[in-house]
């Protein structure tokens, strides 16, 4: 087999054609490459800028899929330049709106919206040229086959190109001791994956959509893969699932949650197999394929029933969340598709991507969306749990609070308190603007548990370092300074020839004694609890990582006895939230500071 490499001239002509045909898509590929390279070079501590760049990449992905769908839709109808650019402008405005509306770095619910939108927009590419009844099902299949093969080819070319260039860089590094940074390899991967691969894929997007009869030869490799690999694997999984269904019927038990994913996985690969063999499913000499095509949806009936039972078991007990919402929608969609292909004579395969695209878009915004129904379901569940005195119900409160803050932010709990949670959330976000997302989210959860007085489970932990504002320690007016910390149970020093003993006699209890004078006790627990409560209210200012600052007066514990003034100045307090009481840190947090002593 001879492989003919493309000439420089042909590559240039193809690149020029792609730019003329898809100018905005090429611009998006270049912009994505630049942003990725900038992210690689950017200091990871610059959280706010990282978030903006990552969101820009997500919206560029939306724009790529939407613009490609719009251009293919226009090409199939041979629109002139005016309407084409009008539609492109509308797509750009939509993407700008999504950029302003979505904030996946703050709200987990927006992460689901991003996934759903990306899924819907990419599905749109698969049927955009055929909306309105243009073309046949054979045309639709050939078009998507071309896209599928072109994507695999682009991925292969990109992988080979990156491997070759990376090896070349490694050779230069080894031979000339250039010391090439790992960031250079990441930048190279970004350029190849986002730039080269995208443009290469666009160069192979079909230009003809209506081809009439299926005259092209069916790819032999595709047939072999489907007939001898994919379908036999699906048959094995089907046997396992049917045996499991028989087991739960005999035992009279509800299905496990894992079975839902197995059934959906079987359905996805089974439907994919049917789509791959669609043109040859009724031809002579393909008995195994014909048998599989005929009985696949029949055998899906018991599996769909099992899936619906598994979904009902989870939702009836724990309510709806975004993942369960998607599971419910997929279960109902699978039931609909099964009934349709069993009863319909037309067997319209385009219904599969169209229906999935519509469902994904409906799940993004609106009262029927995943976010709205999940938030309402969990808020209703929390109301029942807060009113209940049952030990198990009380234990479940923390999980619901954790979910609502994680997915929807503090305002989702507004019905349970008179505090203005939107204002609390904004103060926390401003104070932690440059912090990683987990730090901001943890601060919101700390406030939620404290305000609602909900006991936190042990697995909900948060490490916090509190420091006094200002930096330099004020020691004026004192005669002696002794370093102390929470790691040493006993610290000994001297003032002249008089011994000084600082000792932790119990958790949170610090004893100070100079010579034979009366022992002075400082209550550290009270001071730590006060710091914790102030932090949970969002009053602390974030300045780095897990570190927050509060006014210096909260870090001082002073006392007088036997001719001496004592003042413990804490320079840092570190603790975990998540013990039995929501408003208390651990019994003995780690701390560092100085004991100041003044002779009266």
Query: Tens of pLDDT along 189-200?
Result: 999 999 999 999
The rounded distance, in Å, linking the Cα atoms of 196 and 192 is: 5
Confidence band of 566 (pLDDT split at 50, 70, 90): confident
Question: Angle, nearest 10°, between helix axes 287-318 and 231-251?
Answer: 40
Confidence band of 157 (pLDDT split at 50, 70, 90): very high
| Chain segment 37-71, per-residue pLDDT in tens | 998 887 655 567 788 899 999 999 999 999 999 99
The pTM of the full predicted model, rounded to 2 decimals, is 0.74
Out of 213-227, 352-366, 505-519, the most confident range is 352-366
The rounded distance, in Å, linking the Cα atoms of 432 and 423 is: 14
- Give the pLDDT confidence score for residue 585 in this predicted structure: 42
Instruction: Please state, rounded to an integer, the average pLDDT across all residues of the chain.
Output: 83
Range with lowest mean pLDDT among 72-81, 99-108, 244-253: 244-253
- Give the pLDDT confidence score for residue 579 in this predicted structure: 43
Whether the Cβ atoms of residue 413 and residue 421 lie closer than 8 Å to each other? yes
Nearest by Cα to 402 from 464, 465, 327, 458: 458
pLDDT at 547 over 90: no
Instruction: Point out which residues pair with 300 in neighbouring strands.
Output: none
pLDDT at 221 over 70: yes
The rounded distance, in Å, linking the Cα atoms of 540 and 549 is: 5
More confident call, 269 vs 208? 269
The rounded distance, in Å, linking the Cα atoms of 287 and 281 is: 9
- Give the pLDDT confidence score for residue 580 in this predicted structure: 40
| Chain segment 2-16, per-residue pLDDT in tens | 445 556 677 677 788
The rounded distance, in Å, linking the Cα atoms of 572 and 567 is: 15
Range with lowest mean pLDDT among 96-100, 422-426, 473-477: 473-477
Please give the structure tokens belonging to residue 221: 């490799």
More confident call, 13 vs 387? 387
The rounded distance, in Å, linking the Cα atoms of 15 and 200 is: 8
**Residue range 175-185: mean pLDDT, rounded:** 84
- Give the pLDDT confidence score for residue 270 in this predicted structure: 83
Q: What are phi and psi of 477, to 5 degrees?
A: 95, -5
Out of 2-11, 166-175, 206-215, 479-488, the most confident range is 166-175
- Give the pLDDT confidence score for residue 576 in this predicted structure: 65
- Which residues 6+ apart lie within 8 Å of 546 measured at CB? 439, 463, 464, 465
Quote the radius of gyration of the chain (alpha carbons, Å).
32
Confidence band of 458 (pLDDT split at 50, 70, 90): very low
- Phi-psi sector, 551: left (phi>0), alpha (psi -120 to 50), beta: beta
With helix as H, strand as E and coil as C, how does 3-16 read?
A: CCCCCHHHHHHHHH
Q: What is the largest CA-CA distance in the chain?
A: 107
**Residue range 437-445: mean pLDDT, rounded:** 76
């Amino acid at each position: 087999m001879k492989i003919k490499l493309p000439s420089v001239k042909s590559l240039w002509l193809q690149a020029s054609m792609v730019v003329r045909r898809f100018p905005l898509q090429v611009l998006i590929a270049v912009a994505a490459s630049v942003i990725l390279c900038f992210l690689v070079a950017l200091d990871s501590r610059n959280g706010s800028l990282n978030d903006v760049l990552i969101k820009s990449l997500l919206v560029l992905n939306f724009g790529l899929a939407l613009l490609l769908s719009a251009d293919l839709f226009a090409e199939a109808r041979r629109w002139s330049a005016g309407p084409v650019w009008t539609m492109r402008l509308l797509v750009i405005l939509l993407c700008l709106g999504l950029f302003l509306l979505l904030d996946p770095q703050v709200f987990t619910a927006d992460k689901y919206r991003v996934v759903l939108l990306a899924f819907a927009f990419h599905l749109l590419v698969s049927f955009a040229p055929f909306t309105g009844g243009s073309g046949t099902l054979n045309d639709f299949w050939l078009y998507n086959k071309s896209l599928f093969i072109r994507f695999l080819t682009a991925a292969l070319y990109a992988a080979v190109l990156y491997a070759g260039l990376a090896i070349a860089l490694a050779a230069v590094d080894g031979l000339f001791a250039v010391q090439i940074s790992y960031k250079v390899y990441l930048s190279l991967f970004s350029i190849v994956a986002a730039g080269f691969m995208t443009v290469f894929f666009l160069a192979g997007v079909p230009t003809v959509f209506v081809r009439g009869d299926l005259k092209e030869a069916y790819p032999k490799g595709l047939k072999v893969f489907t007939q001898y690999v994919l379908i036999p694997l699906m048959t094995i999984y089907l046997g396992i699932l049917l045996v499991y269904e028989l087991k739960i019927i005999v035992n009279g038990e509800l299905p496990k949650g894992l079975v839902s994913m197995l059934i959906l996985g079987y359905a996805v690969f089974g439907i994919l197999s049917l789509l791959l063999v669609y043109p040859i499913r009724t031809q002579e000499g393909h008995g195994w394929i014909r048998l599989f095509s005929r009985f696949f949806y029949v055998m899906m009936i018991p599996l769909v029933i099992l899936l619906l039972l598994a979904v009902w078991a989870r939702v009836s007990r724990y309510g709806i969340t975004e993942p369960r919402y998607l599971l419910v929608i997929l279960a109902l969609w699978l039931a609909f598709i099964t009934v349709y292909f069993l009863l319909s004579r037309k067997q319209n395969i385009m219904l599969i991507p169209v229906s999935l695209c519509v469902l994904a878009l409906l799940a993004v915004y609106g009262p029927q969306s995943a976010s709205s129904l999940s938030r309402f379901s969990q808020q209703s569940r929390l109301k029942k749990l807060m009113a209940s005195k049952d030990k198990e119900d009380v234990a479940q409160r923390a999980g619901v609070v954790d979910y609502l803050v994680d997915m929807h932010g503090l305002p989702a709990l507004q019905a349970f308190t008179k505090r203005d949670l939107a204002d609390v959330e904004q103060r926390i976000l401003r104070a932690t603007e440059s912090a990683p997302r987990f730090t901001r989210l943890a601060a919101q959860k700390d406030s939620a548990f404290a305000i609602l007085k909900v006991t936190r489970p042990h697995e909900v932990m948060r490490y916090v370092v509190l420091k006094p504002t200002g930096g330099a320690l004020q020691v004026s007016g004192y005669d002696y300074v002794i370093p102390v910390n929470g790691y040493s149970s006993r610290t000994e020093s001297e003032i002249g020839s008089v011994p000084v003993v600082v000792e932790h006699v119990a958790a949170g209890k610090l004893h100070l004694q100079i010579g034979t004078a009366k022992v002075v006790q400082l209550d550290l627990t009270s001071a730590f609890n006060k710091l914790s409560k102030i932090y949970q209210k969002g009053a602390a200012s974030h300045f780095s990582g897990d570190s927050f600052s509060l006014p210096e007066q909260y870090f001082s514990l002073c006392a007088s006895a036997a001719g001496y003034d004592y003042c413990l100045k804490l320079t840092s307090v570190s603790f975990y939230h998540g013990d039995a009481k929501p408003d208390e840190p651990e019994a003995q947090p780690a701390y560092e500071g100085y004991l100041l002593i003044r002779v009266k």
